[in-house]
Structure 1
Amino acid sequence: MDTKTPTGRLPVVVGGWSAGAVVIGSWWSLRPADHPFARPGDDGFPTLLDLVPGSVTAPALVGVGVVGLAAVLTRSRPVLVTVGVLVAVAFGLLAAGVAPLALAGYAMAMFGPVVLAGTLVVGAWRWRGGPVALGLMVAIGAAAWLTGIADGAVLRRYVDVVTGSAAKFGPPAALTFLLAGAVLWGALAGRLALAGHRRPAWAEPDAAARWGRAAAFVAAACVLPYFLLRMTWLTPWPLGMSADELAVVPEIRLHGLLLGLAALAGGVLTLGLVSRWGEVWPRWVPVLRGRPVPRAAAVVPGALVAVLLTAAAVPMAIQAVAEGAFEMLLIFPFWLWGPALGLAVLGYALRRGTASYT
């Protein structure tokens, strides 16, 4: 097997991440106050990096970035595989936890409705069902306003909560960056390690389509317990909080409902891995409508979310057992959701074909 490997898209992306690691690590070294971990009084999600002082984390991140850039420039397969495995294991363990997943869920809940509404408004005129979708969206917004779920006062309080929470997004964002590095380096190492080997029968497109479809349906079903729990907040019998508490803090009810809808949207997007619109952009998507969906547009975010879910599975299980709240394992079935989504993404990639590392 040739030890020299020409540069392609994935190593370029990995090199970009490594350069970002150098920049971020250097910034933390120059401005220790901006180091996001181990802050006194921080009530966010704990992480293993809270145990490591910034005087160690910052230069270590710079070193990883420099080594990564050097490995990409060497174009040596053994070097890239070695570095990839080390980075994937180290950052995969250090960045594991609930915080990156919580950040992704909060961001989707806060900004997803705005992005979806804007996309529908711009693209609906080329879609037969556009007027119906817009009408439904307006009806839901009017109902939320008139019932007080999302009227002017609640929205103002919700915006205050969002802006006030922005400072707490630093550690989860940093963990997400590190976890993304683990995913990218792991993917590169895996591709190079398997390069030149014959594809097994289970990885053939027809076989991948079968088990990938089953995995996609399992992953999509995993959103339902959490979604249904949040939807009880629309009733006089909410689960997880009392009706009196939600009446006092209506912005929390709005946030919970948006989180439930974000989970449902994730389930719908999962089904795109086995649907036609997961291969060709639908008509309501502006500019891109009718064009093939690039594999990376589905594989990269899908794989990252699968890793986020899987990374959160162990701490969530530990918390559930420690508190005797075993229902959490059903409401948050990360132990099943993450692996199932990962298999669905892998099946999608194999079914559509994967380019070799060139």
Structure 2
Amino acid sequence: MRPRFPRRRGLGAVAACVVALSVGQTLTALPATAAPTPAPTPASAVDAAQDRAARAVAGSLADTAWRARVRTVALNSPEVDIASLAGQARGTLKSTLADADRRIAAAKGLGPKAGSLLRLRLGDDSMRAALASGTVPWVAAATTDDDPAVTAYDSRGRAHAIDARRPPSHPVYVVDIDASKALAAGLDVLNEELGRHGLASADRTSLRTPDAAAAAGFWTTRVTSVRLSNDEEPWIKGDAEIYTLVTGFGLDGKVRVDPVDMPYLDNDGTVYRPNQILVNWSNYKYNLADAVMMEEDGSTNYRDLAKAIANALLTIADQGAYVPLVNAVLDAIPDDWWTDDPDYVDSWYTLARADNGTRNGARGNGWMTVEPYFVSAF
């Protein structure tokens, strides 16, 4: 089960409306209003693209041969690149999914290099028997919010409200984003944008800086074990994708941000022992740094995230003594983002180079055991 972390704001009136729908009830169209339509936020743009893809996949399942092909793949694979598989389908499914992929990449600030992000998976293992017996599945999009109900579509285009907390007995395919692929591309964008805005950031594919490479080695802080809190999360969402923003003052006295991917942190309530290097102290002026752990949950726009963080941190000057940066990072994220993404997981203030042992997160959502670790140049 993926971890679920509290938002800074609660669910709005939209969630309250969805609760009023009984589970399994067929949705009806809402009356049109005269209110102007606001520009889509990254979250709504991603959700809209995924919903459009889910509708298209559901409609394509009316073709019995294609439906059987998808069923075979879904029963034998945890997930499938549905855009690639759609090349075997009739009609406009392939072009519809390609358009949805482009819209999602644009909303997340990733650009065309991200490639196909949409994936299809069976919603829950409890649905396998019904799917294998030939029941025509519904298709739902894995939304980026925490609504208690989600919409699933059948092959005739009808919409059904289903409980997001309890898997239905009817099999459901979930159209989701490959969060691991999106996060990898997003962290590249984050590094690029932070550098463009004057915040030094090391190449995340290498721990070695030119100065460190020329020396005998450098000291780091290594995560030997980590555990995130046990919180209930909707079945429709897949594994978490976690990353940490390590912040501090660089050797030039300017604030720097180093994103660190933590792809193994899939489930809550599980102790992971990655022996992963979190902080490379050769990049920092002081022997102190901060860490803000976040979750990629679908709609994060990495270019906007980098700009927001840069605008906040560039106003902080080196006063000759270390200043914690966690609050500045959190305050930089626009309030409306907290209702969807990026999810704030936890934060660790003033990690010291000499820290050796367990450090609890400031919000109590997790802990890390860290140790000093020397990386030899030879």
Q: Tell me whether the two structures share a fold, i.e. TM-score over 0.5.
A: no
Normalised by the size of structure 1, how large is the TM-score? Answer: 0.29
* Larger helix proportion of the pair: 1
* Larger strand proportion of the pair: 2
Higher relative contact order (CA 8 A, sep 6+): 1
Normalised by the size of structure 2, how large is the TM-score? Answer: 0.28
